[in-house]
């Protein structure tokens, strides 16, 4: 039975080492989330008049995961070294500012996005935070388009196919973020919460490329690889559409109704290839161990 190419693995390791600084920027988010978590345990989340340190926990952790995921896929974007360096530097700056605005303002008792009776400094930070969010959207849109070029697809077909689906999901998340800003909050209707759509869309950046990466780790029928990736990507996107529709109607996704059940079913289908590929990998490892044992 064929095994994954060590040369290919070493090639990816070398590529990812180029993104050390972007990885570190993501890890800072986890450190801040941990610090804020300890603070909340000792002192509680709310900070008068409008701050809430507990919100900084989820924000910094989520942005950290997103930044690390971006670092993981950047090497296969097909960007030239100079363009990649420009993207990396700009992205790190925007991420660090976002960490600063979210944590410092909440600790000061100020809502970092929607300032009420704040100082001139608070207003400037809120306006800058909105501008940074817009720049992140534009920057990521340009970045995401790179994966729809033939050059990127030709170099890494399975990975890029998975990333394409993930980028569409990320755009849905950014749209949900704009919806939150226009709505001046995450809640809508009777029980709708836009944050679920916003967050789950970003997590596609880990979920779908992971399926593609697993398909590289196992030598099986090459024709099955794109089928599994398409299956995962389409199901994930349909799950997001169902959640978005339910939220647009103003209802909670926790309800036992058609759209939430449909969304749950789609996400289950999306993760089925992961379970199958992991089982195949375990079966391959067991067969390899048995073969070595017989040769001893």
What is the tens place of the pLDDT at every residue in 239-252?
999 999 999 999 99
Chain centre to alpha carbon of residue 209: 10
In this structure, are strands 187-188 and 192-193 parallel, antiparallel, or unpaired? antiparallel
Domain boundary among 152, 182, 199: 152
Provide the 10 A C-beta neighbour count for residue 121. Answer: 12
What pLDDT does 289 receive? 47
Residue span of the structural domain in which 204 resides: 156-289
Domain count, the chain: 2
73 shares a domain with 182: no
Residues in Cβ contact with 217 at an 8 Å cutoff, skipping those fewer than 6 apart: 4, 277, 281
Between CA 61 and CA 138 the distance in angstroms is 22
168 shares a domain with 113: no
Higher pLDDT pick, 58 / 16: 58
80 shares a domain with 54: yes
Q: Does 2 map to a domain?
A: no
- CB-facing half-sphere around the CA of 11: CA atoms within 13 A: 8
**Residue 130: closest CA among 117, 116, 114:** 114
240 shares a domain with 142: no
138 shares a domain with 227: no
259 shares a domain with 235: yes
Q: What element of type H or E holds 52?
A: strand 51-52
Max Cα–Cα distance, the chain, nearest Å: 77
2-6, 116-120, 275-279: which range is least confident on average?
2-6
Residue 116: pLDDT band (50, 70, 90) is confident
8-12, 21-25, 127-131, 163-167: which range is least confident on average?
8-12
40 shares a domain with 138: yes
72 shares a domain with 41: yes
Between CA 146 and CA 79 the distance in angstroms is 7
Cβ atoms 65, 210 nearer than 8 A: no
Q: Please, which residues bridge with residue 187 across strands?
A: 193
125 shares a domain with 169: no
Q: Does 64 map to a domain?
A: yes
Mean pLDDT of 275-286: 67
Residue 144: pLDDT band (50, 70, 90) is very high
137 shares a domain with 62: yes
Q: Does 247 map to a domain?
A: yes
Query: Tens digits of per-residue pLDDT, 160-200?
Result: 999 999 999 999 999 999 999 899 888 999 999 999 999 99
137 shares a domain with 71: yes
pLDDT surpasses 80 at 150: yes
134 shares a domain with 169: no
Torsion, Cα of 240, 222, 149, 24 (10° steps): 70
Q: Please, which residues bridge with residue 46 across strands?
A: 52
Q: Does 295 map to a domain?
A: no
pTM of the predicted model, to two decimals? 0.87
DSSP string, 208-250: HHHHHHHHHSS-S-TTHHHHHHHHHHHHHHHHHHHHHHHHHTT
Domain boundary among 125, 152, 179: 152
pLDDT surpasses 70 at 292: no
Q: Does 5 map to a domain?
A: no
User: How far is residue 195 from each of residues 120, 124, 206, measured CA to CA in Å?
Assistant: 29, 25, 18
1-10, 13-22, 225-234, 287-296: which range is least confident on average?
1-10
């Amino acid at each position: 039975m064929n095994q994954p190419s060590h040369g290919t693995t070493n090639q990816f390791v070398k590529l990812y080492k180029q993104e050390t600084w972007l990885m570190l920027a993501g890890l800072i988010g986890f450190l801040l989330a941990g610090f804020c978590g300890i603070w909340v345990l000792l002192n509680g989340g709310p900070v008068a008049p409008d701050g809430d340190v507990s919100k900084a926990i989820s924000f910094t952790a989520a942005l950290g995961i997103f930044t690390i995921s971006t670092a993981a896929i950047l090497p296969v974007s097909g960007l030239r070294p100079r363009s990649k360096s420009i993207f990396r530097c700009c992205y790190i700056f925007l991420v660090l500012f976002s960490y600063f605005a979210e944590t410092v303002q909440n600790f000061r008792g100020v809502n970092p996005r929607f300032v009420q009776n704040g100082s001139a400094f608070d207003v400037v930070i809120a306006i800058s935070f909105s501008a940074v969010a817009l720049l992140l959207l534009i920057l990521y849109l340009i970045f995401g388009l790179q994966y729809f070029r033939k050059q990127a697809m030709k170099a890494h077909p399975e990975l890029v196919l998975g990333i394409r689906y993930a980028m569409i999901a990320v755009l849905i998340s950014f749209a949900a973020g704009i919806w939150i800003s226009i709505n001046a909050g995450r809640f809508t209707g009777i029980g709708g919460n836009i944050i679920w759509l916003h967050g789950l869309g970003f997590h596609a950046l880990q979920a779908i490329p992971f399926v593609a990466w697993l398909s590289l780790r196992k030598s099986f029928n090459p024709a099955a690889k794109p089928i599994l990736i398409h299956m995962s990507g389409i199901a994930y996107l349909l799950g997001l559409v169902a959640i978005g529709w339910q939220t647009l109607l103003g209802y909670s996704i926790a309800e036992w109704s058609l759209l939430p059940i449909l969304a749950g079913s789609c996400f289950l289908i999306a993760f089925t290839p992961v379970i199958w590929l992991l089982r195949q990998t375990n079966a391959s490892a067991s067969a390899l161990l048995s073969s070595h044992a017989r040769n001893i």
